[in-house]
């Protein structure tokens, strides 16, 4: 938090930790307003509500506090304009289920790569195909023949479509257990022992089948981040590790569990 906030003050009986539930869309919209205002300071305050009037409805819905964001900027006429936004939030109890959620972990990583910035265009292509809630997409990755990344959509007996990235890709096989702290540095450092790839070695081919809706949900994250690293555990799971800027001050890690072949026919 020290890298994000110039000054912070947190007081809580729960080891100075306060867990809240907030609308991501409302928070994002407010932050965009702040960015457009070109202000140099944003203040955020968590405050409890008084249960009066219309606020009582929010109390009944569990929205028992507000996240107040306020900032000021100079107008064209050199006047100081103040802005205040209040977002209803829910303060979670210390024993709430979400407090015990743990970040998923991959037991192993078979392949990983730094995705090009133009990769977000693949989501628009996928939008043209298959709209059912239970649709699946198989992601195929290989280090052979200069690197391959493809998306296979198939409906048995009807069609099979493969969308692939046509440019060369720097796809790598980790030589040791990947640590989060060194992931970004590893992705941008050329490993000399990975230059030789046997184009006849089918073990270089890896894949994962996931729900199409789960994969497409990452489109906003990918579009908003400067750096996106894709990790694949063969037939188990995949991860999009994203950095909002070129530094690692703000990162988003999106996990997608694989769908077993047998599960596709059980649904």
pLDDT given at position 189? 56
| Residue 65, pLDDT above cutoff 70 | yes
Q: What's CA 83's distance to the chain center, in Å?
A: 29
Domain that holds residue 215: 111-266
- For residue 148, the domain's CATH number is 3.10.150.10
Percent of the chain with pLDDT over 70: 76
Do 52 and 127 have their domain in common?
A: no
User: Is 13 contained in some domain?
Assistant: no
Q: How many domains does the chain contain in total? A: 2
User: Is 5 contained in some domain?
Assistant: no
Do 44 and 156 have their domain in common?
A: no
pLDDT bin (cut points 50, 70, 90) of residue 66 is very high
CA dist 151 and 161 (Å) reads 8
Q: What is the mean pLDDT of residues 246-263?
A: 78
Lowest mean pLDDT among 3-7, 77-81, 240-244: 3-7
Domain-terminating residue out of 74, 100, 126: 100
- Residue 127: other Cβ atoms inside 10 A: 12
**Strand 251-257 vs strand 80-91: parallel, antiparallel, or unpaired?**
unpaired
Do 189 and 219 have their domain in common?
A: yes
Domain-terminating residue out of 43, 75, 100: 100
Do 95 and 192 have their domain in common?
A: no
The string of pLDDT tens digits covering residues 167-200 is 888 898 887 665 555 555 555 555 545 557 888 8
Domain-terminating residue out of 59, 81, 100: 100
pLDDT given at position 38? 78
List Cβ neighbours of 81 (8 Å cut-off, separation of 6 or more). Answer: 72, 73, 74, 75
User: Six-digit token pair at 102?
Assistant: 């743990």
User: Is 137 contained in some domain?
Assistant: yes
Q: In what order do the strands lie in the sheet with 136-142?
A: 159-164, 148-155, 136-142, 205-211
| Residue 253, pLDDT above cutoff 50 | yes
The string of pLDDT tens digits covering residues 83-127 is 999 999 988 877 666 666 677 777 788 999 999 888 988 988 888
pLDDT bin (cut points 50, 70, 90) of residue 13 is confident
The string of pLDDT tens digits covering residues 35-45 is 888 788 899 99
CA dist 162 and 133 (Å) reads 20
The model scores a pTM over 0.75: no
| Residue 228, pLDDT above cutoff 80 | yes
pLDDT bin (cut points 50, 70, 90) of residue 267 is very low
pLDDT bin (cut points 50, 70, 90) of residue 60 is low
């Amino acid at each position: 938090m020290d890298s994000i906030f110039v000054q912070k003050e947190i007081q809580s009986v729960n080891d100075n930790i306060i867990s809240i539930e907030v609308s991501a869309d409302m928070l994002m919209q407010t932050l965009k307003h702040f960015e457009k205002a070109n202000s140099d300071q944003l203040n955020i305050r968590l405050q409890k509500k008084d249960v009066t009037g219309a606020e009582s409805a929010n109390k009944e819905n569990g929205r028992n506090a507000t996240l107040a964001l306020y900032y000021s900027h100079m107008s064209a006429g050199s006047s100081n304009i103040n802005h205040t936004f209040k977002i209803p939030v829910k303060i979670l109890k210390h024993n709430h289920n979400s407090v015990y959620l743990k970040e998923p972990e991959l037991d192993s990583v078979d392949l990983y790569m730094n995705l090009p910035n133009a990769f977000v265009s693949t989501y628009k292509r996928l939008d043209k195909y298959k709209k059912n809630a239970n649709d699946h997409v198989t992601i195929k990755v290989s280090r052979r023949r200069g690197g391959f990344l493809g998306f296979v959509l198939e409906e048995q007996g009807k069609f099979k479509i493969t969308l692939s990235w046509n440019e060369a890709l720097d796809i790598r096989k980790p030589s040791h257990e990947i640590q989060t702290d060194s992931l970004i540095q590893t992705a941008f450092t050329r490993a000399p022992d990975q230059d030789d790839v046997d184009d006849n070695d089918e073990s270089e081919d890896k894949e994962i089948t996931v729900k199409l809706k789960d994969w497409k949900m990452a489109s906003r994250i990918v579009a908003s981040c400067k750096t996106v690293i894709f990790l694949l555990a063969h037939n188990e799971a995949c991860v999009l590790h994203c950095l909002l800027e070129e530094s690692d001050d703000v990162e988003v890690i999106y996990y997608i569990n694989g769908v077993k072949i047998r599960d596709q026919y059980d649904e």
